[in-house]
Chain A
Amino acid sequence: MARIVIVGYGNPLRSDDGLGWRVAEELSRRLSPPEVEVIVRHQLTPELADDVRNADAVFFIDAARVGQPGEVTCTPVTLQPGTVSSHQCLPAGILALAQELYGAAPRAFAVSLCGECFDHGTGFSTSVEVGLPKLTALVEKMIGEEIARQ
């Protein structure tokens, strides 16, 4: 059985920055728990290396600041040592840490939706509200493909 980990991260009190949480929560309602583990975090931390080490695929879902508001992008994550500290971690660093610590780095994708408002608040901008179903559908489709591969 495939094991998929979804990591939705960002600050839910900073408007569009919290979209990773929304998508992760939506996916946790739609997908069956035995196959998919959903994690939400304010930020990535080194301990996530332990959470992802046994996964077949990991999806890091975050808001992007650069690009066209509402634009969805999906990029494969490649290992990049040195991008982990207690203050700042990148998906590439989490994978590198998992590889170094446990000898196992899963396939991973950084899936993002470009936001336009990062002020204090719990609502989303219109472009993010419009883009969220597209992002959720994309991740759901990719998860289906990952499960089918196994």
Chain B
Amino acid sequence: MEQRRTIVIDPVTRIEGHSKITLHLDDQGRVEDARFHVTQFRGFEKFCEGRPFSEMPSLMARICGICPVSHLIASAKACDALMAVKIPPTADKLRRIFGLAQVVQSHALSLFHLSSPDLALGMDADPAKSNLFGVLEKHPELARDGIRLRQFGQQIIERLGGKRIHPAWVVPGGVSEPLSLADRDAILKSVPEALAIAVRTIEWLKRTIERFREEISTFGNFPTLFMGIVKPEVGGLTFYDGKIRIADASGKIVAEYLDPARYFDFIGEKVEPWSYLKSAYYKPKGFPDGIYRVGPLARLNVVDRCGTPRADQELAEFHELQRTAVLSSFHYHHARLVEVLYCVERMEQLLNHAEILDKHVRAIARPNALEGVGAAEAPRGTLFHHYKIDDEGLIRWCNLIIATGQNNLAMNRSVLQVAKHFVHGERLTAGALNRVEAVIRAYDPCLSCSTHVAGQMALHIQLLSPSGEVLDEVSRP
């Protein structure tokens, strides 16, 4: 009788949230299938029903402790649509700065705190040393830069929003307070250091990834579509506002000028029984052929330019990585750093704008529409908030489409590709299993958001026979 065995990695470590991976082996001990299960459930879409729409930005920010700002922005934009208001120009710029600071701190967390052990110490490093202290021992400057860069983003969020986590400064109609001269100057003063760190780190990464050719060729290196919001007139990088553009694996644009408010026309979602995370797909191609990726790699694949000098230089180099679109998900790390560079440069531009200290930062209105959609680019990809209200302004229906769900199909396929290449038979090597986790880390999934937690996550992997007998077992502290 054919033997089918399963390797379970539970939980997956150094990601935001809780998940596990199962690898199914055939009777020859070869990986034949792999699944990335999201095992946490939060249900935000349901329990906000009945709340006043004006509470939504603050409620939605609670979805995530890592990117609350992105939820605040998307939610406030959905509320702007419900009120049918155009927010003051200064509020628009301040929201953009807020969002850019969020991207910097989140990307810094992903690269320096979560993935730098893999990149700086290698995929086969001692798991006990694969952490910030391990990086610190070998590359103290890199660790210091990570601390400073994340702090840079967080301090801007704190200055603008009043606190680092769950700030409530972005409100329907704009922002609650204007920017002070002192805060503007303090942020501008910190820009050169952040810029220097971004440049230094991107140079380090370009040298480092030379050692990861095998991983580059197997970490989610396959054709998919790529999606992102772009500045429609120039095809430029933006995190706040624009139109949806979709490119295929050859780099050809297959759809553009799509209205984010009509996301349901082109994005479908499928529920799988083995995960709380829904799988999004591009409707015109159906499921699962409509597989697409979002986030840093996708954004850089769909844009023509960033719009700031240094980031544009780096973008040109990034596009040289492959003649087609850049396909390997390993390059999410590289794309993340190009975006950090852009964010710091763009923040400086916005902070120097003549109107940035203007006191008129909020439009006041009652609800003027019963339905509204807000979309923005969160660090991990395109984020949609869609609300329906009743005549009293109470939420009657809510739908959130989160970046991690849009990458779900690609993450599953990536795990399978890595496992087929690196996992062989009943022998569980720490390096092989770390690579299975590392490909997930490349996407920087935020599972708290996407299943609409904190805690130390140990790694426990079991190889089970069909009868449930444990054939092999690996644990990490």
Contacts and interface: CB of A to CB of B under 8 A. Distances in A.
Nearest to B137: A100
Interface in A87-129: 87-88, 96-97, 100-102
A50 B113 CA distance: 15
User: On chain B, which size bracket covers the interface?
Assistant: 20 to 34
B140 A101 contact: yes
B133 A87 contact: no
Contacts of A88: 454-456
B136 A100 contact: yes
Contacts of A102: 144
Given A81-B133, A100-B136, A86 B456 contact: no
Contacts of B65: 42
Interface SS of chain B: helix
B148 A82 contact: no
B147 A82 contact: no
B164 A84 contact: no
Interface string B361-381: 000000000000000000000
A79 B154 CA distance: 25
Contact of A85 (B144, B148, B166, B456): B456
B347 interface: no
Given A81-B133, A84-B132, A49 B147 contact: yes
A90 to B, nearest CB: 11
A88 to B, nearest CB: 5
Contacts of A140: none
A41 interface: yes
B140 A50 contact: no
Contact of B164 (A41, A86, A101): A41
Interface in A30-77: 40-43, 46-47, 49-50
A101 B133 contact: no
Contacts of A42: 65, 165-166
A87 B455 contact: yes
Given A42-B65, A47-B147, A101 B113 contact: no
Contact of A97 (B16, B132, B151, B457): B132
B151 A87 contact: no
Interface string B163-193: 1111000000000000000000000000000
B143 A101 contact: yes
Nearest to B66: A86
B151 A50 contact: yes
B119 interface: no
Contact of A50 (B137, B148, B165, B454): B148
B132 to A, nearest CB: 6
A115 B23 CA distance: 44
B455 A46 contact: no
Contacts of B109: 86
Nearest to B110: A86
A87 B118 CA distance: 18
B346 interface: no
Contacts of A85: 113, 131-132, 456
Nearest to B155: A47
B344 interface: no
Interface string B59-84: 00000010000000000000000000
Given A82-B133, A87-B455, A88-B454, A101 B165 contact: no
A87 B18 CA distance: 12
Interface string B31-56: 00000000000000000000000000
Contacts of B136: 97, 100-101
B150 interface: yes
Nearest to A41: B164
Best-buried of B133, B150, B164, B165 by chain A (most CB within 10 Å): B133
B113 A46 contact: yes
A47 B163 CA distance: 15
A49 B113 CA distance: 14
B151 A47 contact: yes
B114 interface: yes
B133 A47 contact: no
Given A42-B65, A100-B136, A87 B456 contact: yes
B165 A100 contact: no
Contacts of A49: 147
A87 B457 contact: yes
10 contacts: A43-B454, A47-B147, A50-B151, A82-B133, A86-B109, A88-B454, A97-B132, A97-B133, A97-B136, A97-B147
Given A47-B150, A87-B455, A97-B132, 20 more contacts: A41-B164, A42-B65, A42-B166, A46-B150, A50-B147, A50-B148, A81-B133, A82-B131, A84-B131, A85-B113, A85-B131, A85-B456, A86-B114, A87-B454, A88-B456, A96-B133, A100-B133, A100-B137, A101-B143, A101-B147
Interface of A: 40-43, 46-47, 49-50, 81-82, 84-88, 96-97, 100-102
Closest 9 CB pairs of A and B: A47-B151, A86-B113, A87-B454, A100-B136, A42-B165, A81-B133, A88-B456, A101-B144, A50-B147
